[in-house]
Chain A
Amino acid sequence: MLNHKRHGKLAAIAVTAATALALTSCGSDEPASNAGGGSAAPAEPVTITVHTFGGGENFGYDKAVETWNAAHPNIQVKYQNLTDRFEDVYLPQLLQKLQAGSGTADIVGIDEGAMGLMAQRPQFFTDLGQYGLQDRKSDFPAAKWENGINKDGKLFALGTDIGGMAMCYRKDLFEKAGLPGERDEVSKLWPDWNSFMETGKKFQEKVKDAKFLDGPNTLYNTVLSQEAPKNGNVAYFDKSNQLIIETNPAIKTAFDTVKAYSEAGLTAKLASFTPEWNAAIKKGGFAVMGCPAWMVGVIEGAAGEENKGNWDVAAVPGGAGNWGGSYLAIPSQSKHPKEAAEVLNFLTGKEGHVLAFEEANAFPSSLSGQQDPKVSEKKNAFFNDAPVGKIFGDSTANLLPVFLGEKHAQVKTAAEKVLEGMDKGSIPYAEAWTKFVEAGTKAAG
């Protein structure tokens, strides 16, 4: 008897301990970032490490790093993409390393969603202004530049890519529905959101085995990115970091839009970035989705070679917008901030941006990068030679900054979960708004 009882208890302790361990481990599985140059004499080359995230070609720095290393024998860059998941893998690890005071790279990539969080923690990052990067201001649209300023008013991060906004659509499904398939005519179908809705209804009348839209997420983000600048340039949080999910008309509009399309039966009820969603991209389960520049790569990857020419890119109803995009920052624990700043300046400069665009379709956030003919005249073969450079450039031209609160990422995730539930039917339409606000409030608390 005694024996078994102990076994059970010990096992219980061990299991809880394992959970506890997971909570307290410091994620110090990375080799020290400055192993090469920490105590080296100045004449020896300095190694600058760069850590990024993202699937597929991610930041697209292979070529850029090669170019830099060839020209700078004394500052060698080591580039590593850690994971394809930002919110659930990269960000928690980065925060742990920042708090532990060691283990980060000299230059780290940060997704737009966490910029509000990082802006509230100036102690973790180097002030880029002291290395003269303040002068880059005129090179970026205000929307990109402003998010790199922390709560002390210091510049801590510079932009890499920018999402912009367009609509990706299945040409074959449009033609099946008797709609035009050619991208300029498709763009003319929907100058605004009302006509977009009309197009959707027309499509759905003709086509029964596919839906007009993928699901709630891409539509919601598209509308929100257009509405936020019209309502004081804020989304979930106002500029004093108070939650305004219930009162910001931009959020209500985006919510109501999703609800309208869902109630009209125009969505395939798929949450973005799930295996089912990927399968539907490949098999033609839906015809249109909101499409920032980086989504072009996502679709190409999910759809596969056999769908070449089936997808195309048209303009977004309602004009400009932006969803996503990333930044580079230098943690204050870096031992070579000066050299790291030089590398960061290169990667976020025209040359770095253009190389990343060619490699990973990461659309440049710098104006000089966007104006480079290699970008502005770029056509995408997979998407019927769509002039992606021009389409995404136009969509970011007059972009206004949107303030991102400290807990933007958490609130966004929680709120979009409710949209997914509403679309799939596990949350009744009548209760969805209350649930939406509740979930957001809880995530912010």
Chain B
Amino acid sequence: MTLNIDTPAPARRPGPRRSSGRRATGRGGGGLTRFDLRATPYFLVSPYFLLFTLFGLFPLGYTLWASLHDWELGGDKTFLGIDNYVELIADDGFWNAVVNTVGIFVISTIPQLILALMLANALNKRIRGRLFFRLGILLPLVTSVVAVAVVFTQLYGRDYGMINWFLGFFGVEPIEWQNQSWTAWIAISTMIDWRWTGYNAIILLAAMQTIPKDLYEAASLDGASPRRQFWQITIPMLRPTLVFVVFISTIGGLTLFAEPVMFEGNPTMAGGATGQYQTVAMFIVKEAFRDFDMGYASAAAWMLFALILVGILINYSFTRRIGGNK
């Protein structure tokens, strides 16, 4: 089962023919051609790896190095060893940011993926104006994150916001959405979901369309209800795609930044008076560029890296169980 997870058989079709043709040319040439044959592929992929080394690996290593120092922006730098990490682990502010990040991730991603799955399933059926709906759910993705956040923040305004105005009809007192963790998390989650639900739905829809129709036909003949077909065929067949979608959502969720920053209104990176919605990414920027403590911020960046790895491992083991009884 695990082996065929991500390579649906039809994708392999064009393989063998092309490679045999290439070998034929190779045999005729001399050493230069052989060199060309061996080196060219590496040469062609090298730009990515050069750029990755420059903008990926180097900063990664540099951040690690910086995290071992007491390094003030525009100030002195002294070697500390792991002191920054020790301090970070004892820092309530950091764990508060972790709790916020995980909290927002949970209340945004779970409903988002369920909704995306339902939308994809609905759009996979024969309905009128299918193309229109398919394009429609992808539309929010085209708007910039900041624009989304600005508009939503206005909707959630305490005094002049539309959501409090609407809730007012039901006798609800104006809510100060930024004031408590829960309300802020909900507000931020809606921004994320509005933008990303359609994106995930489209990916899931694409995966659904690769599921062979004869499976459903056979199931229908055996008398399986549509609901049962969904759980017994669609979900297990979607597993590789679900793993992908969950990974991407985990990374996106744990590095959440723009929405809560815009939600605060001024980029102090504090995430509310008591850090009600300060995420880890905001914590890092605050330490580095508001308090000018580069070493500490670098340590926090590495902790975030570790956090993402843990998050992905947990989610992976979780998604692996989907349809495991097949």
Residues of A in contact with B (beta carbons under 8 Å apart): 1, 3-4, 7-9, 11-17, 19-24, 85, 87-89, 92, 95-96, 98-99, 121, 124, 269, 271, 273-276, 279-280, 283, 285, 407, 410, 413-414, 417-418, 420-422, 424-427, 435, 442-443
Contact call A20/B157, Cβ cutoff below 8 A: no
Complex partner residue of B60 from A16, A87, A98, A273, CB under 8 angstroms: A16
Q: Could you say which of B117-125, B137-145, B211-219, B262-270 contacts chain A?
A: B262-270
Complex partner residue of A1 from B2, B251, B288, CB under 8 angstroms: B2
Complex partner residue of B268 from A413, A421, A425, CB under 8 angstroms: A413
CA distance in complex: A85, B158 (Å): 24
Scan residues 186-227 of chain B and give those whose CB is less than 8 A from a CB of chain A. Answer: none
Chain A at the B interface: SS class: helix
Give 4 closest A-B pairs by Cβ, nearest first. A421-B273, A95-B74, A20-B63, A20-B59
CA distance in complex: A427, B240 (Å): 46
Contact call B273/A427, Cβ cutoff below 8 A: yes
CA distance in complex: A392, B261 (Å): 35
**Given A20-B63, A23-B297, A95-B292; 6 other pairs, CB 8 A cutoff:** A8-B247, A15-B251, A24-B59, A24-B66, A124-B74, A410-B291
Among A7, A23, A92, the most chain B Cβ lie within 10 Å of the Cβ of: A23
How far does the Cβ of A27 sit from chain B's closest Cβ, in whole Å?
A: 10
Contact call A420/B292, Cβ cutoff below 8 A: no
Q: A1-B2, A15-B308 are in contact. Are A425 and B176 (CB under 8 A)?
A: yes
Contact call B272/A426, Cβ cutoff below 8 A: yes
Closest to B276 in A: A426
Complex partner residue of B179 from A12, A19, A121, A424, CB under 8 angstroms: A424
Scan residues 153-173 of chain B and give those whose CB is less than 8 A from a CB of chain A. Answer: 153-154, 157-160
Instruction: Write out the residue numbers on chain A whose beta carbons fall within 8 Å of the beta carbon of B251.
Output: 8, 11-12, 15
Residue B301, interface by CB 8 Å: yes
Contact call B59/A23, Cβ cutoff below 8 A: yes
Contact call B304/A19, Cβ cutoff below 8 A: yes
How far does the Cβ of A4 sit from chain B's closest Cβ, in whole Å?
A: 5
Complex partner residue of B266 from A8, A273, A425, CB under 8 angstroms: A273
CA distance in complex: A417, B265 (Å): 13
Residue B305, interface by CB 8 Å: yes
CA distance in complex: A418, B298 (Å): 26
CA distance in complex: A387, B72 (Å): 45
Sample of 26 A–B contacts (CB below 8 Å):
A1-B6, A4-B247, A7-B244, A8-B244, A8-B247, A9-B312, A12-B305, A12-B312, A14-B56, A16-B60, A17-B60, A20-B63, A20-B301, A23-B294, A24-B59, A92-B288, A92-B290, A95-B73, A98-B74, A276-B159, A279-B160, A280-B159, A413-B268, A421-B274, A426-B274, A427-B274
How far does the Cβ of B192 sit from chain A's closest Cβ, in whole Å?
A: 16
Instruction: Write out the residue numbers on chain A whose beta carbons fall within 8 Å of the beta carbon of B273.
Output: 417-418, 420-422, 424, 426-427
Scan residues 52-79 of chain B and give those whose CB is less than 8 A from a CB of chain A. Answer: 52, 55-57, 59-60, 62-63, 66, 73-75
Contact call B292/A417, Cβ cutoff below 8 A: no
How far does the Cβ of A189 sit from chain B's closest Cβ, in whole Å?
A: 27
Complex partner residue of A7 from B56, B75, B159, B247, CB under 8 angstroms: B247
Residues of B in contact with A (beta carbons under 8 Å apart): 2-3, 5-7, 52, 55-57, 59-60, 62-63, 66, 73-75, 93, 153-154, 157-160, 176, 178-180, 240, 243-244, 247-248, 251, 255, 265-270, 272-274, 276, 281, 284-285, 288-292, 294, 297-298, 301-302, 304-305, 308-309, 312, 316
Complex partner residue of B7 from A3, A410, A414, CB under 8 angstroms: A3
Contact call B292/A92, Cβ cutoff below 8 A: yes
Q: A96-B74, A121-B75, A427-B274 are in contact. Are A88 and B308 (CB under 8 A)?
A: no
CA distance in complex: A271, B244 (Å): 42
Instruction: Write out the residue numbers on chain B whose beta carbons fall within 8 Å of the beta carbon of A95.
Output: 73-74, 292
Instruction: Write out the residue numbers on chain A whose beta carbons fall within 8 Å of the beta carbon of B312.
Output: 8-9, 12
Closest to A1 in B: B5
CA distance in complex: A413, B289 (Å): 13
Instruction: Write out the residue numbers on chain B whose beta carbons fall within 8 Å of the beta carbon of A421.
Output: 272-274
Instruction: Write out the residue numbers on chain A whose beta carbons fall within 8 Å of the beta carbon of B57.
Output: 17
Instruction: Write out the residue numbers on chain B whose beta carbons fall within 8 Å of the beta carbon of A410.
Output: 290-292
CA distance in complex: A274, B267 (Å): 10
CA distance in complex: A20, B281 (Å): 11
Contact call A99/B74, Cβ cutoff below 8 A: yes
Among B274, B298, B316, the most chain A Cβ lie within 10 Å of the Cβ of: B274
Instruction: Write out the residue numbers on chain B whose beta carbons fall within 8 Å of the beta carbon of A17.
Output: 55-57, 59-60
Q: A8-B312, A98-B74 are in contact. Are A19 and B281 (CB under 8 A)?
A: yes
Closest to A2 in B: B6
CA distance in complex: A21, B270 (Å): 21
CA distance in complex: A96, B294 (Å): 11
Instruction: Write out the residue numbers on chain B whose beta carbons fall within 8 Å of the beta carbon of A23.
Output: 59, 63, 66, 284, 288, 294, 297-298, 301
Contact call A283/B160, Cβ cutoff below 8 A: yes
Contact call A88/B247, Cβ cutoff below 8 A: no
How far does the Cβ of A324 sit from chain B's closest Cβ, in whole Å?
A: 16
CA distance in complex: A17, B240 (Å): 26
CA distance in complex: A421, B56 (Å): 39
Instruction: Write out the residue numbers on chain B whose beta carbons fall within 8 Å of the beta carbon of A420.
Output: 273
CA distance in complex: A16, B268 (Å): 22
How far does the Cβ of B105 sit from chain A's closest Cβ, in whole Å?
A: 14
How far does the Cβ of A405 sit from chain B's closest Cβ, in whole Å?
A: 14
Contact call A4/B160, Cβ cutoff below 8 A: no
Instruction: Write out the residue numbers on chain B whose beta carbons fall within 8 Å of the beta carbon of A13.
Output: 56, 60, 305
Closest to B254 in A: A15
How far does the Cβ of B324 sit from chain A's closest Cβ, in whole Å?
A: 14
Complex partner residue of B291 from A12, A418, A443, CB under 8 angstroms: A443
Contact call B265/A276, Cβ cutoff below 8 A: yes
CA distance in complex: A424, B59 (Å): 40
How far does the Cβ of B223 sit from chain A's closest Cβ, in whole Å?
A: 34
Complex partner residue of B267 from A16, A24, A85, CB under 8 angstroms: A85
Contact call A16/B301, Cβ cutoff below 8 A: yes
Closest to A12 in B: B308
Closest to B93 in A: A442
CA distance in complex: A424, B159 (Å): 13
Contact call B73/A99, Cβ cutoff below 8 A: yes
Closest to A410 in B: B291
Contact call A285/B159, Cβ cutoff below 8 A: yes
Contact call A92/B73, Cβ cutoff below 8 A: yes
How far does the Cβ of A83 sit from chain B's closest Cβ, in whole Å?
A: 11
How far does the Cβ of B63 sit from chain A's closest Cβ, in whole Å?
A: 4
Instruction: Write out the residue numbers on chain A whose beta carbons fall within 8 Å of the beta carbon of B304.
Output: 16, 19
